[in-house]
Amino acid sequence: MISYDGISKSRIRTHYDIATLFYRLLWGVHIHHGLWNENESSQQAQRQLIEHLLQESGIPRGASVIDVGCGMGGSSIHLARQHDCHVTGITLSGMQRRWAGATARLRGVGAQTRFFRQDAETADFAGESFDYLWSIECTEHFFDKKAFLQRAANWLRPGGGVALCIWLAGDEPHSDEDILQVKAVCDAFLCPSLGTTEDYATWLRDAGLEVGNICDLTPRITRTWEICRQRVERTGATKLARLFGRDAVKFIDNFDLILNAYQSGAMKYASIVATKPTL
């Protein structure tokens, strides 16, 4: 794991409270990478990432799911509409909670979804409350990822599992240059640390889960940043970002940083699934 001091929870919350509208305008309803096979549109690529994780995790129709770091409710609503799931979404941002709830009602799945403003690192759900934990690009923001997975494993029923898409530090050993690149990404994108694939596998196993497929998706997701960069150049979005605060400007000024980190191997992007053994 590569850690970076200088990120606070309140900065992460404020960032999503303020910048969510900006992400919606720049990228769409999902605040996550797209997954490309060929030359699909960015919206299609974002849906493909969700479909990939659904397939990897084997979440059955009608399952009860907690979507950790639910953003504008993109995944939660997809799981409810396309897969009949009952979804509880949690997000640090009150603004996102309201957005997700309103969108779910508009899309006809208000009764199948509920959204809370909650810090996942302190949230408390009863044991065996859900079948599956779903989390796309949220655990990067956690200060103690191991402790979170340990607690969250208790929320799951035996036979259920965990489905994650994650920004990762590249495999160890890390060169000084890798560490510099990852710390710069952590600074620009508000991550207290990035774990490696091996870190996540160990944390999941330590939480009593059986680790399934780990899919390195790096080459199929990097186009996200090329498209975002083109959109920013074409639309002059830097000026717009100024309205959404310093961290939004930093975010769009650093697309090359993350692209370079993926290309150099300092960072990876993967889906990881795990199951909770039946007794």
Ligand X SMILES: C[S@@+](CC[C@H](N)C(=O)[O-])C[C@H]1O[C@@H](n2cnc3c(N)ncnc32)[C@H](O)[C@@H]1O
Asked if 136 interacts with ligand X (CB under 6 A), we say yes
| Nearest distance in Å: CB 27, ligand X | 9
Nearest Cα neighbor of 167 from 232, 258, 256, 233 is 258
d(CA 195, CA 216): 14
Closest distance between ligand X and the C-beta of residue 162, in Å? Answer: 14
| CA–CA dist 1, 190 (Å, integer) | 15
Question: Using the rule CB under 6 A, which residue among 2, 19, 66, 75 binds ligand X?
Answer: 75
Q: Which is nearer to ligand X, 16 or 244 (CB)?
A: 16
Nearer to ligand X, 156 or 165 (CB): 165
Determine the interface stretch with ligand X among 71-79, 194-202, 224-232, 262-270 (rule: CB under 6 A).
Answer: 71-79
Name the amino acid, one letter, at 76: S
Report the DSSP beta bridge partners of residue 162. Answer: 133, 274
50, 54, 162, 277 from 68: Cα distances, Å? 14, 15, 11, 21
Instruction: Identify which of residues 103 and 196 has a Cβ nearer to ligand X in the complex.
Output: 103
Of 28, 71, 160, 192, the residue at the interface with ligand X (CB under 6 A) is 71
Question: Do 7 and 140 form a contact (C-beta atoms < 8 A)?
Answer: no
Number of residues counted as binding ligand X (CB under 6 A) = 23
Residue 174 vs 193, nearer CB to ligand X:
193
Binding segment toward ligand X, per CB under 6 A, in 104-112, 135-143, 149-157, 207-215: 135-143
Contact between 42 and ligand X per CB under 6 A: no
User: What track of x and - describes contact with ligand X for positions 81 through 110 (by CB under 6 A)?
Assistant: ---------xxxx--x--------------
Contact residue for ligand X among 7, 42, 52, 69 (CB under 6 A): 69
Q: Which stretch binds ligand X (CB under 6 A): 36-44, 119-127, 235-243, 245-253?
A: 119-127
Residue selected from 27, 85, 87, 121 as contacting ligand X according to rule CB under 6 A: 121
Strand order in the sheet with 130-136: 113-117, 86-91, 64-68, 130-136, 156-169, 267-275, 210-216
DSSP 3-state assignment of 4? coil
Residue pointed to by tokens 């479909």: 51
| Burial degree of 50 (CB within 10 A; 0-12, 13-18, 19+) | buried
Among 2, 26, 28, 30, binds ligand X (CB under 6 A): 30
Burial 89-104 (b: 16+ CB within 10 A, else e): bbbbbebbbebbbebb
Contact residues: ligand X, CB under 6 A: 12, 16, 30-32, 69-71, 74-75, 90-93, 96, 119-121, 136-138, 141-142
